[in-house]
Amino acid sequence: MIGYLLFMTNQLLLNEYFAYLQSLRNASEHTLAAYKKDLSDLGEYFDHQDFRKLTGRQLRHYVSQLSALRLRPSTVRRKISAFKSFFKFLKKRGVIHSNPAHHLTFPKLPRKLKDIPREKELKKLQDIVEQISQKGDFESVRNLVIVELLYCTGLRRQELIDLTVESIDFYSNTIRVRGKGNKERIVPVNDYLRQLLEKYLKMRQELDNCDHSALFLTKKGKKVSKTLVYIIVKSYLGAVSEVNQKSPHMLRHAFATHLLNRGADLMSIKELLGHSSLAATQVYTQNDLQKLKSVYNRFHPRST
């Protein structure tokens, strides 16, 4: 009888809470269904103990059990959100004096890379380069150099825009880059990119208003803008790749991922990208891990 009364008490509290979510918070049907299941599971776990008497320690233990079950971090985060919201509601109504879910911490979500252009797709750009470098005008050659430089060096868009003619050292085949926090790093230039840069610089010298120190200029001699670089990259990637996001940052991701796939170590990639910590670079191992899993599932005798 006592168990039934506790169950009914909890059910009344839940009914009030969901009526509140639906009428005042205008929660979606999806959220309501998810929260109902999360709080129902919570009640079952504690054998329908009075929600008003649950402690923070009990909730923390329950959340740790959820993590032990290897639930996805996003699922655990949603459950914690449900608990925080529900007990906050009870406290606001004066049903409980303190929110036992207040100090629950959300698990970190793994960072995911979006789809990036594949190597064979970016290889097609070289065919376009050969055609345009022979008879292309200033803007066409500049645009191709911008796209190729982003992919060959992994520079951020703003880093590319801030390059000057003096940034390039053809003697050592390097580019001096000023990155975030005004930190400088040296990025190598391969022979392919060097030839493109030399051709572009010759055409750049022929501009009427070529007194600006910026490496990449408009036809009128002004420094290229963020918007222009984005439009250029989107146009050329659209011609060779089907990825949804066609942006300068996708070329930076492709630079790092393709290096990693070909055997480069993380520390080297970290230095090339100008990351302050290895943690920021480790996101690229996710794609590499997916590749390893694919190989494993295809060839290991126990995976079939």
105-126 confidence digits (pLDDT tens)? 888 766 655 677 888 888 887 7
- 238 vs 143, residue with greater confidence: 143
pTM of the model: 0.60
- pLDDT bin (cut points 50, 70, 90) of residue 1 is very low
Residue 191 lies in a domain: yes
Asked if 139 and 224 sit in the same domain, the reply is yes
- For residues 51 and 82, the answer to whether their CB atoms sit within 8 Å is no
Give the residue from 155, 147, 116 showing the smallest Cα distance to 272: 155
Q: What is the pLDDT of residues 215-263, one digit of tens each?
A: 999 988 889 999 999 999 988 888 877 777 788 988 898 888 888 888 8
Judge whether 288 lies within some domain.
no
Instruction: Give the dihedral of Cα atoms 84, 88, 89, 91; nearest 10 deg.
Output: 150
Arithmetic mean of pLDDT, 10-35: 81
106 domain residue, yes or no: no
Determine the length of the chain: 304
Residue 239 confidence (pLDDT): 81
Q: List CB contacts of 199: < 8 A, sequence separation 6 or more.
A: 133, 141, 145
In angstroms, rounded to a whole number, what is the distance separating the alpha carbons of residues 75 and 107? 10
Partners of 186 in the β-ladder: 176
Give yes or no: residues 173 and 210 share one domain. yes
Q: Which of 48-57, 154-163, 283-292 has the lowest mean pLDDT?
A: 283-292
48-88 pLDDT per residue, tens: 788 888 999 999 999 998 878 878 888 888 999 999 999 99
* Domain harbouring 36, CATH code: 1.10.150
Percent of the chain with pLDDT over 90: 30
Contact 174, 155 (CB under 8 A): no
| 224 and 151 co-located in one domain | yes
198: in domain:
yes
- Residues labelled catalytic: 156, 180, 249, 252, 275, 284
97 located within any domain: no
Same domain, 237 and 149: yes
Question: Whole domain around residue 53: which residue ranges?
Answer: 2-92
Q: DSSP per residue over 206-269, as a string?
A: TSTT----BSSB-TTSPBPPHHHHHHHHHHHHHHH---S--SHHHHHHHHHHHHHHTT--HHHH
- Residues 6 or more apart whose CB falls under 8 angstroms from that of 202 comprise none
CA-to-CA distance for 191 and 196, rounded, in angstroms?
Answer: 9
Q: Is residue 33 situated within a structural domain?
A: yes
Residues 62 and 131 reside in one and the same domain: no
Element spanning 174, H or E? strand 174-178
User: How many domains does the chain contain in total?
Assistant: 2
Same domain, 35 and 87: yes
From 245, 271, 289, give the residue that closes a domain.
245
Q: In this predicted structure, what is the pLDDT of residue 269? A: 84
Q: Is the pLDDT of residue 133 over 70?
A: no
User: Tell me, what's the pLDDT at 279?
Assistant: 67
**Structural contact between residues 53 and 96, judged by C-beta atoms closer than 8 angstroms:** no
- Same domain? For 184 and 77 the reply is no
Would 177 be classed as within a structural domain?
Answer: yes
- In terms of pLDDT, which residue wins out, 139 or 242? 139
- Beta-bridge mates of residue 168: 175
CATH code for the domain of 233 = 1.10.443.10
